[in-house]
A and B are shown apart, each in its own frame.
Chain A
Amino acid sequence: MTLLKTPPALARLTGGRRELVDRLFAVQSLVALLVVFIVAILASPTRDGEILFLTAGNLGNIVRAVSEIGIIAVGMTFVVLLGGIDLSVGAILGLSAVGTATLMVDSGYGIAPTVPAVLAIGAVIGALQGYATARLGIQSFIVTLAGLQVARGLARIWSGGLGIPIAYGDGPLQAPPAFEILNGSINGVVPVPAVLFLAVGVAAIVVLRTTAFARHVYAIGGNEKAARLSGVPVTRVKVAVFAVCGLLAAVAGVIHAGQLNQGSPNDGAGYELDAIAAVVIGGTSLSGGSGSMGGTLAGALMLGVLNNILALNNIDANVQLLIKGLVIVAAAGLQRLRRGVA
């Protein structure tokens, strides 16, 4: 509202200051990741003088274990920057895993038609949600809550309620062996899903840094009315952002099916909350307009390191929940501090 009356020079100035704060906080989440990493090394149990946390297999496992959540969190970051939320991602993951198993195994299509088709389904569901929230003016929380139910229902109907196993081979009712690469690792050490996660993350960083699309996202998240008045195609951007989020959830679903050799309609339940946690820990504000993709990647990896070190130390499962809750509150507290600063 005030932006309309603010002289351009001042707008640039406040924008510049905001950017400075954002920059500091993006670095902060990296520093926090580093701190968590060092604490994990110190807290790691050792066997025969070897630090278990730092073993090759374990570091690979950490990134593999957060790869699906991480990819979803990348899409979620775009939505949150926009000032929205997407609760449907876990259900879209389940639907995509079912779709992958059904199309590839039961229907006997190869990888080439299956994967693009599944990704398209995710993107279309996302786009519809984006359109509903932009055009009908329903809050994204509500739209995607409905989307969650729809996607979960479709997954259960499509699969008949049961997980569809994926077996590999050349025969009928078998998936092409090449798909098994998602379960494998490069040189037996770096898991393929981890590589995909980092590739998606780096691509998203580049998009958010260099494109007009990204500037539009920040503008809408900062002040939708002002953005609209200054000619930002709000509807188109929203549809695109939710489509990207749905698409990335579908990517995670394909990886999920590949990692578990099964497409189960109930999988991915609650993943949306982990993804939102990664975004928040990464310093992106849930009120939109400020945050960074680097922060989200750091946030996802931090969650992974935290999960791993708690497990390696055999912390009781219930206590683990408490600790993770406290970490999220602490991250949100830092955000509040930031608003005070800005």
Chain B
Amino acid sequence: MRTRTAILAAVAAGALLASAACSVEKDDPAAANAACGPDRQYLIGMSQANNAEPYRQVMNNDVTTAAEAVKGFEVVVADAAQDNSKQVADVENFLTQKINLLIISPNEAKPLTAVVKKAYDAGIPVIVLDRKVEGDAYTAFIGGDNVAIGKAAGEFYATRLLPDGGKVIEIAGLPGSTPAAERAQGFRDGIAANPKIQIVASQPGDWLREKGQSVADALLKAHPDAAAIYAHNDPMAEGAYLAAKAAGLDKKIKFTGIDALPVPSGGIKAVEEGRLAATFQYATGGREAVDLAKKILIDCSKDVPRSTTLGTQQITAENAKDVYAKLGGS
């Protein structure tokens, strides 16, 4: 009897596959998706690598709010929770739903390349955000320029924050990650104009607030005469601020971060509230992606920029409030 149950299980599972094998799709999705023009309904799939990162949550918000303003756009968001396999399945599910356009921020390049190509080859326009895929099977890429952001921060140090020079502690991102290397390089290019600025220490804080705090704790003991702390993102800058406050150095030292997310826990608010001297925006590209989607689907444009590099903006006490409102912060 139990054998029979077991066989039943196998047969049922087999039936699943067999039914899959028998009902081969007949329509041509490429033809259906080639359509464009105003006064139509469009389903846009947004495949996110990891909703748990605030930056990516803001990216989703940017995409959905921008799409709400476009008549005929409906956006569905899938979260891969940092799992490459899950993101492949997410895109496959979008294809099943016959989306008209795919926006994807890949968890990693190599594992997502094949499924992105599959969507692109099926005639679905693909906009890749922030992280790239390999090859050229996508419609457009939108991303920030971390070297330029680091350089903007460096120039701010050279001309405004420490015009008379001083010692700087750097709290870097995760070792081995590209943004960490680029934000470090750009900063060094930026401060080169002012030889009196000196980087006395650089330690990784792994992008984390708590790690930024413990690293700053240690470094401030070695360098209590530091004039400023340059952190590769806002949470680490906030962590460094907490460490300095505990050491009674928070009034003496200036702090800057990067990212400038328009959320209550983000860097713009920290600047507005006086904890950080400045932060530099790392744009999500969400709005720009929807603008491109509009060009492709509604304006039927065949000629969209293959690669868009997003600029940064400097946020200090003067403009923090305005920028927060402009970026749709709540």
Contact = CB atoms under 8 A, between A and B. Distances in A.
Given A23-B1, A47-B98, A54 B23 contact: yes
A189 B6 contact: no
Interface string B145-181: 0000000000000000000000000000000100000
B25 interface: yes
Interface in B26-66: 27, 51
Interface string B195-236: 000000000000000000000000000000000000000000
A173 interface: no
A41 B22 CA distance: 17
A201 interface: yes
B330 interface: no
A209 B111 CA distance: 38
B84 A301 contact: no
Given A47-B98, A61-B93, A267-B84, A298 B27 contact: no
7 contacts: A30-B8, A48-B27, A59-B20, A63-B16, A201-B10, A292-B6, A294-B6
B84 A262 contact: yes
Contacts of A61: 89, 92-93, 96
Given A34-B12, A202-B10, A260 B110 contact: yes
B114 interface: yes
Interface string A222-263: 000000000000000000000000000000000010011110
Nearest to B174: A161
Contacts of A298: 9, 12
Interface string A263-288: 01001011000000000000000000
B96 A52 contact: yes
A40 to B, nearest CB: 11
A294 B1 contact: no
A68 B21 contact: no
A33 B21 contact: no
A308 interface: yes
Contact of B13 (A27, A201, A314): A201
Contacts of B176: 161-162
B89 A65 contact: yes
A334 interface: no
A233 to B, nearest CB: 24
B17 A68 contact: no
Contacts of A22: 2
B110 A165 contact: yes
A312 interface: yes
Contact of A26 (B5, B10, B22, B88): B5
Nearest to A317: B79
B119 to A, nearest CB: 12
Contacts of A211: none
Interface of B: 1-3, 5-6, 8-10, 12-14, 16-17, 19-25, 27, 51, 76-79, 81-85, 88-90, 92-93, 95-98, 108, 110-111, 113-114, 176
B16 to A, nearest CB: 6
Given A22-B2, A56-B25, A198-B14, A262 B111 contact: yes
Nearest to A202: B10
Contact of B97 (A52, A162, A163): A52
B25 A55 contact: yes
B110 A262 contact: yes
Give the bracket for the number of chain A residues in contact with chain B. Answer: 35 or more
Given A59-B16, A59-B17, A261-B111, A205 B89 contact: no
Given A30-B8, A54-B23, A317-B77, A60 B17 contact: yes
Nearest to B48: A317
Interface in A58-99: 58-63, 65, 68
A6 interface: no
Contact of A56 (B6, B24, B82, B110): B24
Given A205-B10, A294-B9, A190 B93 contact: no
Contacts of B95: 57
A23 to B, nearest CB: 6
B13 to A, nearest CB: 5
Given A26-B5, A201-B13, A59 B19 contact: yes
B13 A198 contact: yes
Interface string A161-177: 11101100000000000
Contacts of B89: 61, 65, 307, 311
A92 to B, nearest CB: 16
Given A59-B17, A317-B78, A27 B27 contact: no
A261 B113 contact: yes
Contacts of A23: 1-2, 5
Contacts of B16: 59, 62-63, 301
B85 A190 contact: no
Nearest to A295: B9
Residue among B25, B51, B96, B108 facing the most chain A CB atoms (10 A cut-off):
B96
A268 B77 CA distance: 23
Contact of A260 (B8, B17, B111): B111
